[in-house]
């Protein structure tokens, strides 16, 4: 009896090892981000074939990463929110609000100097965080659907930003900030993409390696199950929306540094572009699944298309057409692949049952 | 001899409906007790009370002979009581290991642990050990639970419960919607859990399954325990008779 059990255990142990090796490869190939990365590489090869060095140059890619930086910071927060099966439509407006508050504060303090810039950073991040927490409290405690809450705060945050400024952009951004964007390079990477890279790496670690990330997946996968195992779901949701708001505040600062002005009228589609990137990157809009890596790849596709179309002389308006198509195709492929995976799991189960009897 | 977990004359009403009407229940360590009754007999209400999910109007719950007030599921968990719910309460996108440790992740030692970093290897090792101990057939420890069959998911849910419960495991309809082989596996698992010295409360509508694994069977009708039978010598007819009220014999055996 016990020897049989031992044999079984040994077999089970072997199966585990096999399982470990197989599934590492399987897991990587199974990630939608892997396929989307392939699409991105094909797009790059296409433009390289047509435009050669004009496309495939350090200068061009530096420019592309500059353009991606702000969205990448927002995208990290959005990935967390969407994994909890929520949505945050307000990021663009929160970005505008935070940049307006920050610019106002810096203007009031004299408008230049490293100390002023530091206060501006704090102001931007705090005002972003405040909006995030408002979103989180309304979603998690008041139980208003996230779509409605953030549609509301989208409107309110933008409206308040316009009230504060009379609708006119503030241009008095300290030169320390704009210089950071234009001239500073860290390890050969321009300032803004470097900040974005740090946020991406930290966000990836937080999501995939820590308990906070695990709870984010659990809440999105089965909220009731998470609650029953003792996870403080309400608190966690407030933190996740707070994180998204905080990153929108940081994005506001990067945007100020990049453009040297608040961009009151320029962020109306930011939310949708970021959401599209997150979803193209394989994060499930129904929650429970997603990666930061996928989001980054999903952000580069529109940026690379835009740059490539300009270089090869195609109207850049085609970018919208291409990105929209990729978005729908990506979600379609992902869903049919997942349905196939479920079917094979079931038929395998059936096969096993036959074998056992 | 005092029972490990005992409910004495517990009552609970929802509006005008008296779901539990001075109901009794008791279970000892290392035995499987079947809890049966028709729909609305008060089974779910009773297990919610025993697992800290529901406050009682009257009556007392005793654990190891001492009266306890189970104010929250956490409180029951701390005493070593775990419930496997009918709808399993697993997170379908997470893998078996992540599900077993959900809400109770093992953190790394030192500063990294303080920052919330998890010890994946240790969790993987412990989960694999508990699946093996249970004899649960888990196809892959790295695939999401949602892609697995009902039997495997049930196995994972039970493994999770016994990983944390060292006193009482409550199984709510563990064999509902399972195939023949999978049911057999679950019933085997129940016996193994009992052999570890853990008390198992087994709730089911399937009388053959109840008779197969239970040492004692307690019947609820209209919010009250109407009979207790030994598992070995009882027949399906007797159980059905007690459930429907055709024969009442509280305190038998």
pLDDT in tens, A107-164: 888 767 788 888 889 999 999 999 999 999 999 999 899 999 999 999 999 999 989 8
pLDDT band at A346 (very low <50, low <70, confident <90, very high): very low
For residue A189, is pLDDT > 80? Answer: no
Cβ within 8 Å of A, B 134-173: 135, 139-143, 146-149, 151-152
Of the listed ranges B9-23, B72-86, B129-143, the one predicted with least confidence: B129-143
Check pLDDT > 50 for residue A176.
yes
Digit-coded pLDDT (tens) for A42-95: 988 988 888 888 888 888 888 888 889 999 999 999 999 999 999 999 999 999
> For position B236, what pLDDT does the model report?
84
Q: How many angstroms separate the CA of residue A271 from the nearest CA in chain B?
A: 26
| Alpha carbon A75 to its chain's center | 2
Q: What is the pLDDT of residue A201?
A: 95
Nearest to A238 by CA among A127, A87, A129, A137: A137
Highest mean pLDDT among A101-110, A195-204, B117-126, B227-236: A195-204
Rounded-to-integer distance, Cα A133 and Cα A224, Å? 22
pLDDT at residue B158 above 70?
Answer: yes
The reported pLDDT for the residue numbered A247 is 96
Could you count the other beta carbons within 10 Å of the beta carbon of residue B153? 21
Confidence class for position B241, pLDDT limits 50, 70, 90? confident
Mean pLDDT over the full length of chain B:
84
Average pLDDT over residues B212-234: 86
Q: Which residues of chain A does B90 touch, with a Cβ-Cβ cutoff of 8 Å?
A: 222, 225
Q: Do B98 and A23 touch (CB under 8 A)?
A: no
- Alpha-helical segments (H) within chain B: 43-50, 73-79, 96-100, 110-114, 120-134, 150-164, 180-195, 207-213, 236-244
Give the whole-angstrom CA distance, residue A177 versus residue A184: 10
The Cα–Cα gap between A217 and A82 comes to: 10
* pTM assigned to the model: 0.82
Instruction: Say yes or no for a CB contact (<8 Å) between B89 and A212.
Output: no
Residue in B98, B141, B179 closest to A353 by CB: B179
Query: Residue A345 and residue B140: Cβ atoms within 8 Å?
Result: no
| The pLDDT of residue A349 is above 50 | no
Average pLDDT in chain A: 82
Residue B64 CA to residue B86 CA, distance in Å, equals 27
Tell how far CA B32 is from the center of its chain. 10
Cα A222 to Cα A84, A241, A275, B162, B210: the distances in Å are 9, 18, 22, 21, 30
CB A203 within 8 A of CB A79: yes
Q: What is the CA radius of gyration of chain B?
A: 19
């Amino acid at each position: 009896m016990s020897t049989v059990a031992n044999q079984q255990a040994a077999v089970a142990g072997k199966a585990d090892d096999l399982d470990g090796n197989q599934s590492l490869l399987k897991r990587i190939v199974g990630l939608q981000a892997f396929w989307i990365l392939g699409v991105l590489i094909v797009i790059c090869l296409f433009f390289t074939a047509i435009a050669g060095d004009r496309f495939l140059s350090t200068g061009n890619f530096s420019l592309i990463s500059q353009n991606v930086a702000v969205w990448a910071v927002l995208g990290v927060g959005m990935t967390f929110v969407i994994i909890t099966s929520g949505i945050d439509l307000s990021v663009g407006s929160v970005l505008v609000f935070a940049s307006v508050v920050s610019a106002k504060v810096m203007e009031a303090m004299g408008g230049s100097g490293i100390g002023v810039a530091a206060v501006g950073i704090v102001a931007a991040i705090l005002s972003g965080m405040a909006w995030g927490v408002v979103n989180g409290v309304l979603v998690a405690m008041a139980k208003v659907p996230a779509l409605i809450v953030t549609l509301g705060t989208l409107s309110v945050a933008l409206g308040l930003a316009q009230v504060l400024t009379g609708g006119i952009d503030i241009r008095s951004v300290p030169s320390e900030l704009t210089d950071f964007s234009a001239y500073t390079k860290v390890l050969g990477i321009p300032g803004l993409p470097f900040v974005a890279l740090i946020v991406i790496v930290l966000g990836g670690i937080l999501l995939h390696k820590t308990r906070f990330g695990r709870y984010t997946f659990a809440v999105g996968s089965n909220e009731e199950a998470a609650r029953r195992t003792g996870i403080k779901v309400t608190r966690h949701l407030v933190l996740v929306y707070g994180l998204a708001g905080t990153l929108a505040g940081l994005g506001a600062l990067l945007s100020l540094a990049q453009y040297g002005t608040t961009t009151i009228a320029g962020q109306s589609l930011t939310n949708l572009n970021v959401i599209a990137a997150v979803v193209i990157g394989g994060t499930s809009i129904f929650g429970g699944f997603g990666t930061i890596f996928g989001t980054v790849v999903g952000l580069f596709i529109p940026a690379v298309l835009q740059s490539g179309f300009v270089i090869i002389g195609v109207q850049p308006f085609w970018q919208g057409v291409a990105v929209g198509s990729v978005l729908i195709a990506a979600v379609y492929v992902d869903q049919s692949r997942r349905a196939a995976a479920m079917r094979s799991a079931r038929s395998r189960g059936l096969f096993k049952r036959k074998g056992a009897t | 001899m005092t029972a490990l977990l005992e409910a004495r004359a517990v009552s609970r009403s929802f509006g005008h409906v008296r779901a539990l009407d001075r109901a009794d229940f008791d279970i000892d360590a290392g035995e499987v007790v079947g809890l049966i009754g028709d729909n609305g007999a008060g089974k779910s209400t009773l297990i919610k009370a025993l697992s800290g999910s529901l406050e009682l109007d009257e009556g007392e719950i005793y654990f190891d002979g001492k009266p306890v007030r189970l104010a929250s599921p956490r409180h029951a968990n701390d005493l070593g009581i775990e419930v496997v719910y009918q709808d399993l309460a697993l997170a379908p996108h997470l893998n078996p290991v992540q599900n077993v440790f959900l809400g109770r992740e093992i953190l790394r030692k030192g500063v990294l642990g303080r920052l919330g970093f998890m010890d994946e290897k240790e969790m993987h090792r412990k989960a694999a050990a508990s699946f093996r101990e249970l004899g649960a057939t888990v196809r892959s420890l790295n695939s999401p639970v949602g892609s697995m069959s009902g039997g495997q998911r049930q196995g994972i849910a039970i493994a999770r419960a016994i990983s944390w419960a060292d006193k009482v495991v409550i199984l709510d309809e563990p064999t509902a919607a399972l195939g023949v082989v999978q049911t057999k596996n679950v019933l085997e698992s129940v016996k193994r859990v009992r052999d570890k010295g853990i008390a198992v409360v087994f709730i089911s509508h399937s009388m053959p399954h109840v008779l197969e694994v239970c040492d004692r069977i307690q019947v609820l009708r209209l919010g009250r325990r109407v009979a207790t039978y030994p598992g070995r010598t009882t027949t399906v007819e007797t159980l059905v008779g007690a459930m429907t009220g055709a024969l009442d014999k509280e305190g038998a055996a």
